[in-house]
Amino acid sequence: MGREFLDIFEGWAEEYDNTVSGYDPEYKEVFHAYDDILVEVAKNSEGNILEFGVGTGNLTEKLLERGHDIIGIEPSPAMKAIANAKLPEALVMDGDFLEYPIPTIPIHTIVSTYAFHHLTDDEKDNAVKKFADILEVNGKVVFADTMFETLEAKEKKTSEAEEIGFTNLAADLRREYYPTMETIEGIFTKHNFTVSFKQMNEFVWLIIAKKE
């Protein structure tokens, strides 16, 4: 359920904000237009929000600026500590996409950035099933995450990373569970969502899935 990667995030927490700002050349394209991606997710969010993978609170901050009530879920204590220090007014609780406190307020939008790929396809399916149960009528899921149009496109990006010596990025692309768009669309459609995609950079797509 993504917690197998927890040690990576515990070690990455202090440098995470530097990485997303383009400091690390290996991940510069992955996080290209990072702020615009967060704004796009926030712009498409409505009402009370459940956010998964809060990290250091960057998306949370955008949502708070728009006046949303937010319940944040984050499994990494180090990441959560940074988010709490940055945004003491935010409610950030321990949990992950599959195990988390059930919200006590109506949820109109579920959001996440750069996190859903930590789940296997079966775990993604289980998570989306729970989303459908939690969301209010006409609620939606708004995610931005790395995914690929085809498996061939994923392999091409991985090979390109290896060829230019981006060994960490290549290992990341092979290690984690980056999906194809067809897989994501199939999972959401199975649980009665309609799905749209918008490409945000070479790696990241915006997903908007509306509950039918």
**Mean of per-residue pLDDT scores for the chain:** 94
Strands 107-113 and 135-146: parallel
Q: Tell me the mean pLDDT in the region 178-205.
A: 98
More confident residue, 22 or 146: 146
Which residues in the chain belong to E strands, given as ranges? 49-52, 70-73, 91-93, 107-113, 135-146, 193-199, 204-211
pLDDT at 100: 96
Convert the pLDDT of each residue in 132-190 to its tens digit: 999 998 999 999 999 999 999 999 999 999 999 999 999 999 999 999 999 999 999 99
Selection from 132, 119, 123, 56 nearest residue 92 by Cα: 56
pLDDT at 10: 74
Asked if the 3-211 domain carries CATH number 3.40.50.150, the reply is yes
Given a contact cutoff of 8 angstroms between Cβ atoms, the answer to whether 79 and 13 are in contact is yes
| Coil, strand or helix at 155 | helix
The region of weakest confidence among 86-90, 97-101, 147-151, 185-189 is 86-90
In one-letter notation, the amino acid at residue 192 is N
Helix (H) or strand (E) holding 59: helix 58-65
Given a contact cutoff of 8 angstroms between Cβ atoms, the answer to whether 168 and 28 are in contact is no
pLDDT at 70: 95
pLDDT at 9: 65
Q: Which residues pair with residue 207 across a beta bridge?
A: 143, 197
pLDDT band per the 50, 70, 90 thresholds, residue 3: low
Strands 204-211 and 49-52: unpaired
